[in-house]
Structure 1
Amino acid sequence: MTATEQADDVTAMLRDSLRGFLDEHWRPRGATASSSPDEISAVWRKLVGQGVAALGAQGDEGGLAEILVVMAELGRVGCPAPMWSAALANLAISGSQADAVTDLLARLHSGTAIVAFSFGALDPDRGTGSIEAANSAATGVLRCVEAAGSATHLLVALDQAHLALIELSGPGVECVATRAMGAWGLHEVRLNAAPLTPIPAGGVDLDELRIKGKAMLTARACGAARRAFELAVDYARERHQFGQPIGKFQAIQHKLANCLIALEGVRLILDHTARLHDGGEVDWRYFADCASAFSGGALRQVALETQHTFGAIGYAEEHEAPIHFKRVHLDTVALGGASDAKRRLASRLLDAGGAGLPQYDLGTAGNAFREQVRSWLAQNWSGRRKDVFDQKPFAKREFDAGFARDIGDTGWIGLGWPEQFGGQARSPLEQIAFMETMEQGEAPRIGAAIQANALMMFGTPDQQQQYLPEILRGEAMHGMGYSEPQAGSDLAALRTSAVRDGDHWVINGQKIWTTTWWGKYMFLAARTDKDAKPPHAGISMFIVPMDAPGITIRPSATMYDGTFANIFYDNVRIPAENLVGEINGGWKVLTGALAFERGLVGGGIVLKVAHAFEQLRAHVMAGEGDRSLAGDPIVRDRMATLASEIEIGRQLMMHCAELAADGVTPPEYGAISKVFSGELMERFGEAALDILGMRAALSEQMPGAIDNGRFEQNLRHSLMWVISIGTNEIQRSLIAQRALGLPR
């Protein structure tokens, strides 16, 4: 078992233990019951017995991952126990040898002291107040201080190098309860020459501490949003309107699918942040900021959509949902909210030469393979050869036969294939390394991954021996003949027929929007039983040679300057052995191939966006003086937003890879990745035009076009990824029904 797997097991056990504890000791009170200082103190003392009070302290085995688990579980049950302040106190002062600190920490960990924490003047939100310290006394006002009503001590940052410890029962201290977002729990602390004990920050970077504090709040908000979302899903299954559960309405299904995508994105990036932090990796700060930047809008939208799903019942204060709505908004706006995180992201990306998107650790094999592919491309896809290719119109850059054969010599087309079929059986992380490096090298497409997978899953031994080797060598491309005029996303409605005639099948019909129409073969879906009930039970899959008599191809230009075709099949005769899978069993073959593709597509799309983002970043930084885009605050905010969304997309991709390594990526999770990344590609294309202006709208080979029309072409191309392989609307229905159990 790896260190990562062990850490995941520890956090899972902590989560389960804490959830059971809180269900017993907090939830029975009722989620909307008032939380008096005495009640908070009482539940905190019980939590201390669970060992959470020492998390973050030097010498304690728990790291940021465990702290985030505790925060998420507290958010889930609406418990305002002062974990946030305790964790920050441990992180801030546990390295100090001062007697006052040693005594405070001992009491904190035993439950006889409760600490309230404030960043004071270091809080990016200037409305939260500050204090001045002189002659060992503090004067000023601190607003929105958590747990001050039940705390015994206040720990507040004075500046980057000093903190102050103040006894809240001492002279010159007044704590006034404050209502925020309609909820009690925060306090205004008024200090008038209140005695303080100065504590040097020592080796603690208080700016980093603030980033950790924001990650903790994001985790708590995520826990609250997740709980409200789960309640809404349950409600949508049970609540009937117009004679059916409201969860059957597409509008409800799609909004809840959107919520799940957002929640999964936040969960994954917080887990990644904690893993990097606890492993001593410096990039944890960047991912923590991405989590804050993304969750500011995403979790609040989940909270809103939850309320919309509940309708009037969730608007009543006696319902549990409002307490989670309030928590999400309070936690995502605190410590400068998303705006403060975006400012740091923009500084990293654009200032002092800028730093690019971080390179993911793909494991020993994945990292080594990435360098191997990079070296191969430098030798085989560079210089004059690549320049000539890049000067071609986009329609001529969809495929390069010579390049495909060269890649075929490496065996990489069969990167993930089982060895029994001539593949290399490389891991999903190695496959990501390959896709990423090929995208960065701007290499043309290769292979026929979906059709190859279908043949390996459902093909006969003869079919596998005939078709797989030529795919592997880069010699044959296969198109996908699925869509028809009356059967786009609804493939069960297809009408193209295949009728058995002796040793042949005779095919008649029309396919539209067919890409790779120029390939050697077509992987074709046709109806073999027109009376089958349900209709999808009468579909079979075939391999059709594209030079067979009776095929008429009418190519059309796509709006992204590529091509697809209307293809007519008039009494096209193919050998009987070209049937793939069982007669009338094509739906299983077809959906199996599509599920495999969606698991890859989301990752492929986000890697395209990540590469294009780096091209955009270079242009933003290239300006000088008053023409510099890098100094424009709107551009900086937009770039930071895009970076955070790219990391959410990459986290979804990595999670699909983890699932694939354990077996097969569930179709609904492939759909989550595909939906998010496809729409991110659209948002990126729109943002690039806004940022770069009219020259970015000039198309390829036009004078003055930026990067030969790269950015506007990306935008036009992005629409394909949202529509193809099943529209995102279909994918949202799949997510709602398969992942959330909503009725079909």
Structure 2
Amino acid sequence: GAARRAFELAVDYARERHQFGQPIGKFQAIQHKLANCLIALEGVRLILDHTARLHDGGDADWRYFADCASAFSGSALRQVALETQHTFGAIGYAEEHEAPIHFKRVHLDTIALGGASDAKRRLAARLLDAGGAGLPQYDLGTAGNAYREQVRRWLAENWSGQRKDAFDQKPFTKREFDAGFARDIGETGWIGLGWPERFGGQARSPLEQIAFMETMEQAEAPRIGAAIQANALMMFGTPEQQQQYLPAILRGEAMHGMGYSEPQAGSDLAALRTSAVRDGDHWLINGQKIWTTTWWGKYMFLAARTDKDAKPPHAGISMFIVPMDAPGITIRPSATMYDGTFANIFYDNVRIPAENLVGEVNDGWKVLTGALAFERGLVGGGIVLKVAHAFEQLRAHVMAGEGDQSLAGEPIVRDRMATLASEIEIGRLLMMHCAELAAGGVTPPEYGAISKVFSGELMERFGEAALDILGMRAALSEQMPGAIDNGRFEQNLRHSLMWVISIGTNEIQRSLIAQRALGLPR
């Protein structure tokens, strides 16, 4: 309460205080400080609420979550108190000001009753001693829990044994997609588990979608579907486009890439230069796209400029579906640092039918941002579920140790494992909160951004911690002698960098949080 009150005072101050002729809340440094504070405060609020609900419902896991709350809050709320003072500057030094009172209270309360240190000791004992207990399973409601078990049974029958072993033997670069698995999943209809029924979907709830994502991650199943593009087609496509493209996506037969980023237009998509010019019953597309991951898909969901003089620039963008076998497309694949692939794609007088326009001419920004907002609402959850699965693998190695040496007794290891567990619970609760908001309508983009920022950076912290804990063998890459789990942990760290950059860098997301959630000036 003290941290939140001081934070609210600082936000009000940032809106009103002028320096260099403008409100200090317009400065990116201030916006990002306060965005970080909001992320931390939301995490604390959610885990306290969750703990209280478990306690009142008689669930024994309430003690675990209470310890997670203390472990996370011990550092998070102190940082909020510090950043609050930084925002106030010298005005916050005065004892007459309210902020110093809250600063003292935060630092007192976070060490009371043993504080974070005692909480971490209890968490480590639960996680690592006497065989250890894994991360708790969340209650996803009657339908969500039942669906989770249904997916587990299906995966046990269809993604196990020799089939999964053969897939796992492939190098990471060959594990991005499995066409046969995608078609098998397509037969279940689960690619459209969240789609409206009128499009052939199952209209399952956000909690059921989490159940699916979680179970797929635990089974280490390959990616499927084209969720962002399908959602854009359902929102903005013509009936003819919906009939032509959605069934193939639903069956697992057609992957769609996203042709957004360009050499001079990464996060600043409004600056894109690839052009589309109307030529009778066709559009002629010319330009270059970069960092395109699903370059091997059947179609590209491509953003192009249809009005070079539009003011503001984003008003002159349109969206198109481009068949990747169209003449004039040159693909130059490149390996990524995380053992995936992306491509530079050149479009030279690529001719596509006029009906491949998605939405209205020059109204592509709505289509583009609508699709990205949909992805950001899910991506934070997808990231934290990856971290939770990797944490359980790390926990098994810590308890097993190397030879007669067990890492589970090392004080530093125990502290870091407890810290990671508490942060994973914050990430999972941010995911659950986004699902609750989605169930009530639409997730505000700032909350999707909060989940994405926290979980992406948690994945980085986890990757660093796993290497510190397991040592040199964990730093060996796949197919190297002695590599732990064939280089899994080292690859996890390299992969984590993608999640803080893609779908809009975390710096851009922090600006969105500050402006949309806190009302700071643009």
| CA displacement at 1:497 relative to structure 2 | 0.2
Question: What is aligned with 2:101?
Answer: 323
**Paired residue secondary structure (2:202):** coil
- Aligned-pair CA distance for 1:437: 0.1
Q: Per the alignment, in what secondary structure is the counterpart of residue 283 of structure 2?
A: strand
1:611-667 CA deviation, whole Å, 9 max, x = no partner? Answer: 000000000000268611000000000000000000000000000000000000000
Structure 1 residue matching 2:287: 3-state secondary structure: strand
3-state SS of the aligned residue for 1:507? strand
Using the TM superposition, give the Cα deviation of residue 286 of structure 1 relative to its aligned residue in structure 2, in angstroms: 0.3
In 1, Cα distance between equivalents of 2:398 and 2:377: 33
1:582 Cα deviation (Å)?
0.5
Displacement of 1:350:
0.2
Q: Tell me the alpha carbon deviations over residues 578-601 of structure 1, each in whole angstroms, 9 at most, x when there is no partner.
A: 000010000000000000000000
Structure 2 residue corresponding to 1:581, chosen from 351, 355, 359: 359
Equivalent runs, 1:30-45 vs 2, <5 Å = none
In 2, the alpha carbon distance for the partners of 1:563 and 1:631 equals: 40
Residue 406 (structure 1) aligned with residue 204 (structure 2)? no
**Displacement after TM superposition at 1:246 (Å):** 0.3
* Counterpart Cα distance in 1 of 2:363 and 2:206: 28
Aligned-pair distance for 1:415? 0.5
CA distance in 2: counterparts of 1:629 and 1:711, whole angstroms: 16
1:315, 1:646 → 2: CA distance? 35
Matched, 1:514 2:292: yes
Q: Which residue of 2 aligns with 1:742?
A: 520
Q: Among residues 551, 565, 571, which one is paired with 2:343 in the alignment?
A: 565
Which whole-Å CA distance do the structure 2 matches of 1:588 and 1:529 have between them?
A: 15
Mapped to 1, the partners of 2:93 and 2:148 lie a distance apart of 52
Cα distance in 2 between the residues matched to 1:394 and 1:625? 28
> Following the alignment from structure 1 to structure 2, what is the Cα–Cα distance between the partners of residues 515 and 625?
41
- Match of 2:288, SS state, is strand
Tell me, what secondary structure is at the counterpart of 1:556? strand
- Residue identity over aligned pairs, in percent, reads 96
Secondary structure of 1:522's aligned partner? strand
SS at 1:596 equivalent: helix
CA distance in 1, matches of 2:483, 2:354: 52
Aligned mates of 2:204, 2:143 — CA distance in 1: 9
Distance in 2, matches of 1:544 and 1:480, equals 10
Please state whether the residue corresponding to 2:278 is helix, strand or coil. strand
1:339 Cα offset (Å)? 0.6
Higher relative contact order (CA 8 A, sep 6+): 2
Q: CA deviation at 1:460?
A: 0.2
Tell me, in whole angstroms, the C-alpha distance in 2 between the residues paired with 1:720 and 1:240. 37
1:645 aligns with 2:423: yes
Cross-structure match for 1:615:
393
Deviation at 1:374, TM superposition (A): 0.2
Counterpart secondary structure, 2:404: helix
In structure 2, C-alpha distance between the alignment counterparts of 1:315 and 1:321, rounded to whole Å: 8
Structure 1 residue 428: deviation in Å?
0.2
**Which string of whole-angstrom CA distances, capped at 9 and with x for unpartnered residues, describes residues 284-308 of structure 1?**
0000000000000000000000000
| 1:468-496 deviations in Å (ceiling 9; x for gaps) | 00000000000000000000000000000
Cα deviations across residues 381-439 of structure 1 (Å, max 9, x unaligned)? 00000000000011100000000000000000000000000000000000000000000
Deviation (angstroms), 1:606: 0.2
TM-superposed deviation, 1:701: 1.1
Deviations 1:667-721 (A, max 9, x none): 0000000000000000000000000001001111111111111000000000000
DSSP 3-state at the match of 2:44: helix
CA shift for structure 1 position 336: 1.1
Q: Using the alignment, how far apart are the partners of 1:411 and 1:445 within structure 2? A: 15
Within-5 A mapping of 1:56-455: 223-455=1-233
Q: Distance in 1 between matches of 2:392 and 2:186?
A: 29
- Which residue of structure 1 lines up, in the alignment, with residue 486 of structure 2? 708
Q: Could you say which residue in structure 1 is the equivalent of 2:256?
A: 478
Residue by residue over 1:288-335, the C-alpha shift from the partner in whole angstroms, topping out at 9 and shown as x without a partner, is 000000000000000000000000111100001011111111000111
Q: Deviations over 1:73-127 (max 9, x none)?
A: xxxxxxxxxxxxxxxxxxxxxxxxxxxxxxxxxxxxxxxxxxxxxxxxxxxxxxx
SS at match of 1:553: strand
Tell me, in whole angstroms, the C-alpha distance in 1 between the residues paired with 2:171 and 2:357.
Answer: 37
Deviates more, 1:625-634 or 1:546-555: 625-634
SS at match of 1:262: helix
**Separation of aligned partners in 2, 1:228 and 1:582:** 46
Secondary structure of the 1:742 match is coil
Give CA-to-partner distance per residue, 1:167-203, whole Å, 9 cap, x none.
xxxxxxxxxxxxxxxxxxxxxxxxxxxxxxxxxxxxx
After superposition, give the CA deviation of every residue in 1:532-562 in whole Å (9 maximum; x if it has no partner).
Answer: 0000000000000000000000000000011
Distance 1:609 1:299 in 2: 23
Q: TM-score, normalised by structure 2?
A: 1.00
Q: How many corresponding residue pairs?
A: 522
Which of residues 469, 484, 487 is equivalent to 1:691? 469
Q: How far 1:577 sits from its partner (Å)?
A: 0.3
Question: For residues 444 and 311 of structure 2, what CA distance do their matches in structure 1 show?
Answer: 26
Q: Over residues 48-77 of structure 1, what are the superposed CA-to-partner deviations in whole Å (9 max), with x where a residue is unaligned? A: xxxxxxxxxxxxxxxxxxxxxxxxxxxxxx
Q: Secondary structure at the match of 1:625?
A: coil
TM-score (norm 1): 0.70
- Quote the Cα distance in structure 2 between the aligned partners of 1:587 and 1:414: 25
d(CA) in 2 for partners of 1:315, 1:636: 38
Distance 2:103 2:134 in 1: 35
Query: Matched residue of 2:395: which SS?
Result: helix
CA distance in structure 1 between the aligned counterparts of 2:43 and 2:252, rounded to whole angstroms: 36
SS in 1 for 2:110: helix
Separation in 2 of the partners of 1:548 and 1:315? 65
Runs of 4+ off more than 3 Å: none
- The partner residue of 1:592 within 370, 379, 382 is 370
Q: Secondary structure at the match of 1:626?
A: coil
Task: Report the Cα distance in structure 2 between the residues aligned to 1:550 and 1:693, rounded to whole angstroms.
Answer: 49
Spell out, residue by residue over 1:429-475, the C-alpha distance to the aligned partner (whole angstroms, 9 max, x if none): 00000000000000000000000000000000000000000000000
User: Offset of 1:734 from its aligned partner?
Assistant: 0.1
Question: Partners of 1:593 and 1:249 in 2: how far apart?
Answer: 29
Deviations 1:492-516 (A, max 9, x none): 0000000000000000000000000
Provide structure 1 residue ranges, at least 5 long, that are not aligned to the other structure: 1-222
Q: What's the CA shift string for 1:332-387, capped at 9, x where partnerless?
A: 01111101000000000000000000000000000000000000000000000000
Output the CA distance in 2 between the equivalents of 1:651 and 1:675: 14
Secondary structure class of the residue paired with 1:583? coil
In 2, Cα distance between equivalents of 1:385 and 1:434: 20
Structure-2 separation of matches of 1:296 and 1:620: 25
Q: Name the Cα RMSD after superposition.
A: 0.6
Classify the secondary structure of the residue corresponding to 2:289: strand
Secondary structure at 2:494 match in 1: helix
Distance 1:575 1:390 in 2: 41
Unaligned runs of 5+ in 2: none
